[in-house]
Structure 1
Amino acid sequence: MRIAFIIAALGAGGAERVISLIANDWATKGWQVTVIAFDDPADPVYHHFHPSIELVRLNLSPASGRRLSGVWLNLQRVFALRRSLKRLRPDVAVSFLTKINVLALLASRGMTLPVIVSERNNPRRQAAHPLWAQILAKLYPRADAIVMQTRDSLECLPPSARARAHVIPNPVSAPATAAPGDRPTVIAGVGRLIPQKGFDLLIRAFATVAGQFPQWNLVIWGEGDERTRLQALTDEHGLQGRISLPGVSPTPGSWIEETGVFILSSRFEGFPNVLAEAMAAGLPVIAFDCAYGPHDLIIPGQNGILVPPEDVALLATAMTDLLSRRQLQAQLGSAAKMDTRRFLPDEIIGRWTALVELFQAGTASTNPNKL
């Protein structure tokens, strides 16, 4: 089987992590796997890929937000991707993330190549030009299969595309952590420094409780355009010595062993990989009950704490409750570790394998809407 994955870049994101896990598994099966990305070949590859996997990097990352240059860039991306697909001749193409899915469907138009697109976020909450939504509604019915991460997220799809949808959550694996009693007094937030991740809300909540818990600090791992704003917010609350933004963690998951409590402060998600990883590692967690994902992972009071979306006051209350009760931290962390076994890689990758094998080598697309 020849497989081509299509992704924006090979950095530290959750979609990239999932692709690396699936691609590596298929490469060990002897499948011919290629990962096509639009980033600069000089950019570092954050996740490990099996030596047999070919990485094709098209060097067509966004250079500016201006509309005309953006249109021209996306046309270049479509043609470059189409050339790569014709050269590689995969049996199946699998694309990740909304805009990349659109580009993949445009690039494969008129080809007999089966295309599986995978939504990794909440399309209704992502900032995008309205034209993208219109294109998505027209193109998604042309996909041979659409992978969503939760059942709730199916409502984001155009009605004509839902018959081809499959719900496959993310595979979750995590390194072992220290015993509960030995955990550092550090609260962690992890993700790109962008408004979606709600780190401004997390900083405000921490500022509310910081005086009650002088031994606890907040570390926000990640990089992005919001760094200056988040640092200014930290300074505004006088918490320069208590809140740090060290950038991307040196290796995948290395932040876990430096963490005592994990908080997901996102305004919206698709399926929060980082929350699942924290739970799989046995960390006690608090999360905003945003759409989508947290309530698929957390059973309130049993394996974590859910807070109404974007409610800073209630987040601070939940933090106070959890930080003041070591026994509760241990109880929630232990239950979380047990419960996330249902997302172990063997189980989830097996579902991906079964889906892709529906399109056996040499089988053309079966979608009558495609051509």
Structure 2
Amino acid sequence: MLMKKIKILFILDVLEFGGAQRVSLNILRFLNRSRFTPLLTLLKGKGNYMKMLPQDVTVYNLNLKRARFGVFDLVRILKITRPHIVFSTVNYIDEVVNVALRIYAGSYKLILRSPNFPSQNIHKYPVYVRLISRWSYNKADMVVASTKAMKSDLQLIFDLPLEKVKLVHNPVDLQLISSLSKKSVEEKLFHTEGDDYHPVIVSMGRLTEQKGFTYLIRAFKMVQNELPSKLVIIGDGAQKKDLENLTESLGIAEDVIFLGLQSNPYKYLVNSDLFVLSSLWEGFPNSLVEAMACGIPVISTDCPSGPSEIITPGIDGLLVPPGNPEALASAVLKVLNDKKLSIKMAMTGKKRVKDFNASYIVEEYERLFMSVL
């Protein structure tokens, strides 16, 4: 007797560069098709990740200017698809999803995945937004946290029952990273030799306050005073002009290269000497795991949450206090001046990230999906 496939409707704003979007994309790509039928609704448009989406995923693109205007469109999609499970992982659309589900008359189970560490920025929002978020999470049948610290934080901030919050790390496609990292890099700064050689430090993420690039640039200035090197920053965001101005004021503009968004950042990572995550807070830092997968040593701030659950200090990386340029500069110099430590951390780090391989993590998601039905 054939088992009826479980329909899962994934709801996102767009399918483009971003941690929450990447997690959803990897689940959609690795989900077992013999047991599950994946569906996708995009509220605001398609995006750069569409080319990586499997062709068997039915996509409902609403092309809305504002997500909050999508309640009745979502109700229509729910009536068309009649999913067994609805999965949402972008905070500002969780409430829209919940309202649409209240109007929708069918049966369903709702799973919300938190993309970030809530206590770090919940206080920035008006009281009514906090109350709506609490209501939204409590209406879910299951809430997914990507780190142990985030799980505890969600339970505390939103007063969630212990059994409602489940820990599932982010899935990382190690095979894809390995393949893309082999692509050639044209930029000359990655190909210096002999007297022209200089270490390349790389970082990656949205250019926002959360990612702490201001502290990284100040730390890099201290590194430059002792060891000529280059800093490459991959990503884009609201702080780009401020960060460029900071490099000018510190006199290091020629040695800090802003590469912008890159569809294949891995070819730059694998050709760098060191990766640095300078975040003030995180959810689960995908970029840190991806750098480790590229086989280069990593340094991360010990921010909430994620790095301390990924890195064992001195074994597969180094941890430093967030917002501390002096400590960060000291760690960078330690790694760049100690080849033995650098090689050791790179090798052990590459082994460590196998625990986050997408094929394994998506199996955990599959068990979670079955458990809510």
TM-score range relative to shorter protein: 0.7 to 0.9
Conservation of the 8 A alpha-carbon contact between 2:266 and 2:294: no
Aligned counterparts, 1:347-366, within 5 A: 347-360=360-373
Matched with 2:74 is 81
Which structure shows the higher helix fraction?
Answer: 2
**Residues 141 and 130 (structure 1 numbering): CA distance in 2 closer, same or farther, change over 3 Å?**
same
Give ranges in structure 2 of 5+ residues lacking alignment: 1-5, 183-192
Matched with 2:52 is 48
**Residues 256 and 184 (structure 1 numbering): CA distance in 2 closer, same or farther, change over 3 Å?**
farther
Matched with 1:208 is 222
Aligned counterparts, 1:225-236, within 5 A: 225-236=238-249
CA distance in 2, matches of 1:45, 1:244: 25
Give ranges in structure 1 of 5+ residues lacking alignment: 63-72, 361-371
Matched with 2:25 is 20
Whichever residue aligns with residue 8 of structure 2, its letter is: I
Aligned counterparts, 1:94-243, within 5 A: 94-110=87-103, 111=105, 112-126=107-121, 127-157=124-154, 158-174=158-174, 175-176=177-178, 185-214=199-228, 216-243=229-256
Q: Post-superposition shift, 1:155?
A: 2.8
Conservation of the 8 A alpha-carbon contact between 1:289 and 1:307: yes
Q: How many pairs does the alignment contain?
A: 345
Whichever residue aligns with residue 118 of structure 1, its letter is: R
TM-score, normalising length: structure 2: 0.86
CA distance in 1, matches of 2:265, 2:33: 21
Conservation of the 8 A alpha-carbon contact between 1:187 and 1:259: yes
- CA RMSD between the two structures: 2.2
CA distance in 1, matches of 2:165, 2:264: 33
TM-score, normalising length: structure 1: 0.87
Whichever residue aligns with residue 169 of structure 1, its letter is: H
Conservation of the 8 A alpha-carbon contact between 1:94 and 1:117: yes
| Structure with greater contact order relative to length (CA < 8 Å, sep ≥ 6) | 1
* SS at structure 2 position matched to 1:120: coil
Most deviating of 80-89 and 270-279: 80-89
Structure 1's consecutive aligned runs of 4 or more residues displaced over 6 angstroms after TM superposition are: none
Q: Deviations over 1:120-179 (max 9, x none)?
A: 10111234333221111122111011100112112332223432111001112333468x
Matched with 1:308 is 321
CA distance in 1, matches of 2:295, 2:48: 30
* SS at structure 2 position matched to 1:196: helix
Q: Equivalent of 2:61, from 52, 57, 66?
A: 57
CA distance in 2, matches of 1:254, 1:88: 39
- 1:249 has 2:262 as partner: yes
Matched with 2:41 is 36
- 1:286 has 2:299 as partner: yes
CA distance in 2, matches of 1:162, 1:105: 21
CA distance in 1, matches of 2:56, 2:198: 39
CA distance in 2, matches of 1:259, 1:334: 15
CA distance in 2, matches of 1:322, 1:124: 32
Q: Post-superposition shift, 1:212?
A: 1.8
Q: Percent identity over the alignment? A: 30
* SS at structure 2 position matched to 1:228: helix
